[in-house]
Amino acid sequence: MFIILMGQMIGLPFIFWLLFTAFDFWNIEQIFAVLGLLGIILNVTRWKNKVSITILSFMLMLSPIISRIIQISTEKFNYLAFKIPLFLFIACYLIFIILNAVKREKPDVSL
């Protein structure tokens, strides 16, 4: 079982949580950990610049975070050391998706 104290839900411990929970069998959290890891793996494949893959990857990577927020009281996540990186991740990844979509729409006119 993973107990979250104030300040514990940061990047490095969350990666460890994903890795260890992915192999914690017969647990509902295992599903979300595997989905999150699949989202990370999609970012290093050759299809990473396709708009549909980036949207799918974004949703898969957010699923364990949303799961943890739903399972645990929201006051455990009410601190800037969690909110700022989460907001930056969401904002930057949405910009990445938009830039991929714009890049796909532009025809290549180079000779």
Q: How many residues does the chain have?
A: 111
Placement of tokens 């959290």 in the chain: 29
Query: What pLDDT was estimated at residue 94?
Result: 92
Query: What pLDDT was estimated at residue 10?
Result: 55
pTM of this prediction?
0.73
Higher pLDDT, 6 or 77: 77
Beta strands in 24-94 (DSSP E): none
d(CA 54, CA 94): 9
* pLDDT tens digit sequence for 24-71: 788 888 888 888 888 888 888 887 778 888 889 999 989 888 888 888
Select from 57, 78, 59 the least CA-distant residue to 67. Answer: 59
Neighbouring C-beta atoms of residue 43, cutoff 10 Å: 16
Q: Percentage helix, strand, coil, to 5, in the chain?
A: 70, 0, 30
Whether 11 shows a pLDDT value over 50: the answer reads: yes
Query: Under the phi-then-psi rule, with left for phi > 0, alpha for psi from -120 to 50, and beta for the rest, what region is 110?
Result: beta
d(CA 93, CA 89): 6
